[in-house]
Amino acid sequence: MKPSHVEHIGIAVKNLDASIRFYEEILGLQCYNIEEVKDQKVRTAFLQVGDTKIELLESTDPDGPIGKFVEKKGEGVHHVAFAVENIKEELAHAKQKGIRLIDHQPRKGAEGLDIAFLHPKSTHGTLIELCEDKTKINSH
Amino acid sequence: MKPSHVEHIGIAVKNLDASIRFYEEILGLQCYNIEEVKDQKVRTAFLQVGDTKIELLESTDPDGPIGKFVEKKGEGVHHVAFAVENIKEELAHAKQKGIRLIDHQPRKGAEGLDIAFLHPKSTHGTLIELCEDKTKINSH
Q: What is the pTM of this model?
A: 0.94
Domain chopping of chain A, boundaries: 5-138
- What is the 3-class SS of A10-32, one letter each residue? EEEECCHHHHHHHHHHHCCCCEE
- pLDDT, position B136: 67
Third-level CATH fold of B5-138: 2,3-Dihydroxybiphenyl 1,2-Dioxygenase; domain 1 (3.10.180)
Q: Is A131 helix (H, G, I), strand (E, B) or coil?
A: strand
Mean pLDDT across chain A: 93
Helices (H), A2-110: 16-21, 65-73, 87-96
Dump pLDDT digits (tens) for A56-84: 999 999 899 999 999 998 999 999 999 99
Q: Does residue A137 have a pLDDT over 60?
A: no
Between strands A76-83 and A5-13, the pairing is antiparallel
Phi, psi of A85 (to 5 degrees): -85, -35
Provide the ipTM: 0.93
Rg (CA), chain B: 15
Q: Is B90 helix (H, G, I), strand (E, B) or coil?
A: helix
Give the whole-angstrom CA distance, residue B14 versus residue A40.
Answer: 30
Nearest by CB to residue A50, choosing from B4, B18, B124, is B4
Dump pLDDT digits (tens) for A94-125: 999 999 999 999 998 888 899 999 999 999 99
Dump pLDDT digits (tens) for B43-74: 999 999 999 999 999 999 989 999 999 999 89
Chain B residues with CB within 8 Å of chain A CB: 1-6, 9, 11-15, 18-19, 22, 25-29, 49-52, 73-77, 80, 82-83, 93-94, 97, 99, 118, 120, 122-128
Q: What angle do CA A137, A140, B4 make, to 5 degrees?
A: 80
* Chain B residues near residue A74 by CB distance under 8 angstroms: 125
Average pLDDT over residues A18-47: 95
Dump pLDDT digits (tens) for A85-96: 999 999 999 999
- Closest C-alpha to A82, from A33, A40, A36, A133: A133
